[in-house]
Amino acid sequence: GDVAVLVPAAGAGVRLGPGRPKALRLLAGEPLLVHAVRRLAAAASVHTIVVAAPAAEVAGVRELLAPVAPVIVVPGGAERQASVAAALAAVPAGPTIILVHDAARALTPPELVESVAAAVRDGRAAVIPVLPVVDTIKEVDADEVVLGTVDRAALRAVQTPQGFRRSVLTAAHAAAGDPLTDDAGLVEKQGVAVSCVPGSEYALKITRPFDLALAEHLLAADG
């Protein structure tokens, strides 16, 4: 395998309601992070997985993942971007393709991991999985009064794993300023072209209680 996957899993998950850090919330009896890592490890190109865990949970996460797949676990940071940077610093020599994948996208199929990696291998510097936007999108002011309708045909909803030539992601993080919520955003700021590949409905980000309920149903239906 020529791929290392960084898994930022250090977030609190406030939008899911009170409880454990989000990556450790249970889905069908197992933490989201276990579901995510199991699917990453099932992708044939994946050589190394580095997880950024909540600082207080590093030892516990190591124990949790040991039976699932060989992983490197490091403490994450205060922002997602800092967690990704910490994981990136722990990647050994070897992998030439780096994927960044949110633990919260716990049901992402190994096929999507492979398709993003393949697009980078084909020569693209940066690759993101996307879905079309299905809802009509309005821009509003501070009083929730509509300013206008955005042309939905030109919009895409972005998922993970996001894939990068290793040198491109390393340079983007070295130059990073204000924290962004996605790594392709850092690469765009460097003037690097970011290409899209088709995403997967199963790669939904488990953010709110409804998403967790939906994910439970998907697992029950598909096994």
Interface pick for ligand C5P out of 3, 5, 10, 186 (rule CB under 6 A)? 10
Q: How far apart are CA 148 and CA 117, in angstroms?
A: 38
Q: How many CA atoms lie within 13 A of 134 on its CB side?
A: 2
Is 11 among the residues that bind ligand C5P (CB under 6 A)?
yes
Is 39 among the residues that bind ligand C5P (CB under 6 A)?
no
Is 184 among the residues that bind ligand C5P (CB under 6 A)?
no
Instruction: Name the residue whose CB lies closest to ligand C5P.
Output: 11
Q: How far apart are CA 84 and CA 9, in angstroms?
A: 9
Interface pick for ligand C5P out of 9, 27, 100, 119 (rule CB under 6 A)? 9
Distance of closest approach, residue 199 Cβ to ligand C5P, in angstroms: 16
Interface pick for ligand C5P out of 55, 56, 59, 78 (rule CB under 6 A)? 78
Q: Give the binding range for ligand C5P (CB under 6 A) out of 100-108, 122-130, 131-139, 162-170.
A: 100-108
Distance of closest approach, residue 146 Cβ to ligand C5P, in angstroms: 26
Residues of this chain, 103-162, that bind ligand C5P according to CB under 6 A: 103-104
Is 88 among the residues that bind ligand C5P (CB under 6 A)?
no
Interface pick for ligand C5P out of 8, 129, 163, 199 (rule CB under 6 A)? 8
Closer residue to ligand C5P in complex, CB, 125/158? 158
Closer residue to ligand C5P in complex, CB, 48/83? 83
Is 76 among the residues that bind ligand C5P (CB under 6 A)?
yes
What is the 3 state secondary structure string of the chain?
CCEEEEEECCCCCHHHCCCCCHHHCEECCEEHHHHHHHHHHCCCCEEEEEEEECHHHHHHHHHHHCCCCCCEEEECCCCHHHHHHHHHHCCCCCCCEEEECCCCCCCCCHHHHHHHHHHHHCCCCEEEEEEECCCCEEEECCCCCEEEEECHHHCEEECCCEEEEHHHHHHHHHCCCCCCCCHHHHHHHCCCCCEEEECCHHHCCCCCHHHHHHHHHHHHHHC
Residues that bind ligand C5P (CB under 6 A): 8-11, 22-23, 52, 76-80, 83, 102-104, 181, 205, 207
